[in-house]
């Protein structure tokens, strides 16, 4: 199967989707932990852990959505 090239617009849209998938869970975990426990340091640590987990999944997601088959 021959693969066609991604256009700049496709790369921008798909990159934005991946960025949203990485940042939204870490921001939500930060604000929820900060609100519930009222501890900003623990909230930052939890958000960092969630952020790196999401970055790990983003590699798998990007491999699937950036391969364009014709």
Return the pLDDT at 31.
Answer: 97
DSSP code at position 6: P
Q: Please give the pLDDT value at position 68.
A: 66
Residue 12 lies in a domain: no
- Sign of dihedral through CA atoms 34, 36, 39, 44? negative
Domain around 52: 23-65
Number of domains making up the chain:
1
Tens of pLDDT along the chain (70 residues)? 555 677 888 889 888 988 998 899 999 999 999 999 999 999 999 999 999 999 998 888 888 877 766 5
Using CA atoms, how far apart are residues 27 and 10, in angstroms rounded to an integer? 26
pLDDT for position 32: 97
- pTM equals 0.73
Does residue 11 lie within any of the structural domains? Answer: no
Question: Distance between CA atoms of 24 and 52, rounded to whole angstroms?
Answer: 12
The rounded distance, in Å, linking the Cα atoms of 25 and 45 is 13
The answer as to whether 39 is a domain residue is: yes
Is the residue at 16 inside a domain? no
């Amino acid at each position: 199967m021959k693969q066609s090239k991604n256009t700049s617009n496709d790369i921008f849209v798909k990159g934005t989707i991946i960025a949203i998938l990485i940042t939204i869970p870490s921001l939500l975990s930060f604000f929820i932990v900060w609100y519930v426990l009222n501890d900003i340091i623990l909230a930052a640590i939890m958000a960092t852990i969630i952020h790196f987990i999401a970055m790990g999944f983003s590699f798998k997601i990007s491999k699937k959505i950036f391969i364009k088959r014709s």
